[in-house]
Amino acid sequence: MSEVWILAATLLGLAAGFTVSYFLASRLAASKLADAERQARRIVEEAEREAKALKKEKLLEIKEEWQRQRQEFEAETAAKRNKLQTLERQLKAREDALQEKLELVQRKERHFQALEHELAQRQQQLQQKLQEVEQLRQEQLARLEQIAGISREQAKQLLLENLMTEARNEAAQYIRQIREEARLVAEREAKSIVVQAIQRMAADFSMESTVTVVQLPNEEMKGRIIGREGRNIRAFEAATGVDLIIDDTPEAVVLSCFDPFRREVARLALERLIADGRIHPARIEEVVEKARQELEESLPRIGQEAAAELGLHNLHPKLLLYIGKMRFRSSYGQNLLAHSIEVARLAAVMAAELRLDVQLAKRAGLLHDIGKCVENADAPHALVGYELVKRYNEHPIVCNAVGSHHEDIPMESPIAALVQAADAISGARPGARRETLEEYIRRLEQLEALARSFDGVAKTYAIQAGREIRVIVEPDRVDDQSADELARQLAARIEGELQYPGQVKVTVIREVRKTAVAR
């Protein structure tokens, strides 16, 4: 029973607590709701006040912006109006100016038309005057032809001939003046270079002879060389192709042959036979053949020594062989190898002075006469040498210098001219070359005959051993200008048609003598 009351009391307490709690919560909620409503009304009122203030502010801004834009529009409109008025004034001024120009053009056009009409009248009058002048000129020409006794064409031809003669004389004088100035400058520079080359290459060269003297140990050796009934000497001459001359010269015999190679073979063989003491035909043939083989084997070595002396390298072995053969060749009595080495050095010195390739100048100088060593050739030695060095891949400048040093082909480089000059210098040394009396006389006769072949030549004299030709001309047939041209043409023909050592000076003499007798 007590538990029921307790439970009932508990339930009543809970109900009372719930009721009180609900009442309190309702009162609290009503109070919060009232506060919220008041807060909402306050927020709304504040928002309305702010909206009114913002609206008023925006209205003021819009009004100010409208006022500003209105002022700008009015200012822009005023500026455009002023500009338009200015353009209207300028256009009006241009229209006035164009109107004035149009009136001026019209006035000038009327003036030009009047001038054109007047000019046409004057031109017509001038044409009439010209016709009258032409008629008078024809009458004067006819009268002049009648007085002079020659026609108009003849007079024109005479005038043209006089003008051509005068122009030719003036041209000859001008050409002579230019040539003289160029000759003086070129001669001065060339002499300087050549003199320096000769001074730096001062060397003596003895002429190659056609005989060689071999010393004997005693006079009895002559008999052994001759042999019984001359068998030994005949066998020796047949094997070597050299004449063995045995005369009264004490303890010496002479080997005579135009070929230096065969003469050298004979000398070596004879010296070995004399040293060995066994002299008979079989031994002679054996020793001669061995000497020939040894000498042929020494040719490349001689070529290498010559190239090394000049500081040249990379020469083809075949070219070295031909260079070695030069040692046993001669030209006008001058040893060919010594001459080629001298030409190489002279060309190198001149090339250095002119700042050209010194090595190419040396190679061209050494090889320039290599064609003389080619046997059984049917062409000039310069062309033979040109083909030879070209075959063994020498430089094109070297090939051209070899082929053109006697002008068989055109020169293509300054080095070719230097080689030609060095060749002339080497050959022109006093005593460097020699020629027979018959060749000397024939050369002088050819020189004088060539000079006499020109018109107006009275006398010719070859002097200074053929190094100068003096030509005396007839003064009434050759004038001063023609004399200058004659000297130039004669020098050109001498270069092209004659062979001569060094150079030939051409001197043309025109002398006029007037005499009178006082009685």
Residue 200 has pLDDT above 60, yes or no: no
Per-residue pLDDT at 109 exceeds 80: yes
Q: What residues contact residue 348 under an 8 Å CB cut-off, 6+ apart?
A: 310, 358, 361, 362, 365
Rounded Cα distance, 290 and 295, in Å:
9
Predicted confidence band of residue 191 (pLDDT cuts 50, 70, 90): low
Q: Domain map of the chain by residue range?
A: 211-427, 437-509
Q: Is residue 311 a contact partner of residue 371, using CB atoms and an 8 Å limit?
A: no
9 vs 134, residue with greater confidence? 134
pLDDT value of residue 399: 92
The rounded distance, in Å, linking the Cα atoms of 373 and 36 is: 140
Give the chain's mean pLDDT: 81
pLDDT digits over 279-330, tens only? Answer: 888 888 888 899 888 888 888 888 888 888 888 888 888 888 888 888 888 7
Helices (H) and strands (E) in the chain, counts: 14, 8
Written as one string, the DSSP assignment of 31-85 is: HHHHHHHHHHHHHHHHHHHHHHHHHHHHHHHHHHHHHHHHHHHHHHHHHHHHHHH
Q: Which is more confident, 343 or 198? A: 343
Task: Output the pLDDT for position 204.
Answer: 44
Whether 392 shows a pLDDT value over 50: the answer reads yes
Specify the range with the lowest mean pLDDT, choosing from 25-29, 102-106, 253-257, 417-421: 25-29
Dist CA 502 CA 507 (whole Å): 17
Neighbours of 491 (CB within 10 A): 15
Show the tokens assigned to 90. 């300028």
* Alpha-carbon span 141 to 161, nearest angstrom: 20
For 445-468, how does the pLDDT look when each residue is reduced to its tens digit (9 = 90+)? Answer: 888 899 899 988 988 888 877 788
Lowest-pLDDT choice from 29-38, 43-52, 474-483, 504-513: 29-38
Residue 185: pLDDT band (50, 70, 90) is: low
Angle formed by the axes of helices 358-367 and 396-404, nearest 10°? 40
Strands (E) across 339-446 are located at none
Q: What is the pLDDT of residues 117-136, one digit of tens each?
A: 888 888 888 888 888 888 88
Residue 500 clears pLDDT 50, i.e. is over it? yes
Q: Which residue has the higher pLDDT, 194 or 19?
A: 19
Q: What is the DSSP string of 297-363?
A: HHHHHHHHHHHHHHT-----HHHHHHHHHHTT-EETTEEHHHHHHHHHHHHHHHHHHTT--HHHHHH
Kindly state the average pLDDT of the residues 392-403: 90
Q: What is the DSSP letter of 208?
A: P
Lowest mean pLDDT among 135-139, 209-213, 406-410, 450-454: 209-213
From residue 483, alpha-carbon distances to 51, 181, 299, 456, 514 in Å are 128, 18, 53, 10, 20
Local confidence band at 189 (pLDDT 50, 70, 90 cut-offs): low
212-268 pLDDT per residue, tens: 788 888 888 888 888 888 888 888 888 888 888 888 778 888 888 777 788 888 888
pLDDT reported for residue 246:
84
Instruction: Using CA atoms of 480, 482, 485, 487 in order, give the dihedral in degrees to the nearest 10.
Output: -70
| % of the chain beyond a pLDDT of 70 | 88
- Residue 333 reports pLDDT greater than 70: no
Pick from 240, 227, 230: nearest CA to 285: 240
d(C-alpha 243, C-alpha 255), whole Å? 6
Torsion, CA 494, CA 500, CA 505, CA 508, rounded to 10: -40
pTM, 2 dp: 0.48
Query: Please, what's the largest Cα pairwise distance for the chain?
Result: 216
Q: 144-148, 164-168, 364-368: which has the highest mean pLDDT?
A: 364-368
Edge-to-edge order in the sheet of strand 468-473: 457-463, 468-473, 505-509
Residue in this structure with the two tokens 């538990």, named with its chain if needed: 3
- Integer angstrom CA distances of residue 38 from 41, 42, 43, 51, 352: 5, 6, 9, 20, 123
Contact between 413 and 400 under an 8 Å Cβ cutoff? The reply is: yes
Contacts for 150 with CB less than 8 Å, ≥ 6 apart: 158
- pLDDT value at position 196? 52
Q: How confident is residue 206, by pLDDT bands cut at 50, 70 and 90?
A: very low
For residue 519, pLDDT beyond 50: yes
pLDDT at residue 353 is higher than 60: yes
- In CATH, the number for domain 211-427 is 1.10.3210
Q: Provide CATH code, domain 437-509.
A: 3.30.300.20
Q: Which two tokens stand for residue 11?
A: 């339930």
Whether the per-residue pLDDT at 198 is higher than 80: the answer is no
* CB of 419 closer than 8 Å to CB of 405: yes
pLDDT beyond 50 at 199? no
Residue 38 class from Cβ within 10 Å (0-12 exposed, 13-18 middle, 19+ buried)? exposed
> Which residues neighbour 373 within 8 Å (Cβ) at sequence distance 6 or greater?
322, 325, 326, 329, 336
C-alpha closest to that of 506 among 456, 440, 453, 448 = 448
Q: How confident is residue 481, by pLDDT bands cut at 50, 70 and 90?
A: confident
- C-beta atoms surrounding 234 within 10 Å: 15
Q: For residue range 413-436, what is the model confidence (pLDDT) as tens digits?
A: 888 888 888 888 777 655 445 555
Q: What's residue 400's pLDDT?
A: 92
Note the pLDDT of residue 172: 72
Apex 52 CA angle, 50 and 56, nearest 5: 115
DSSP state of 256: E
Tell me the one-letter amino acid at 196.
Answer: Q
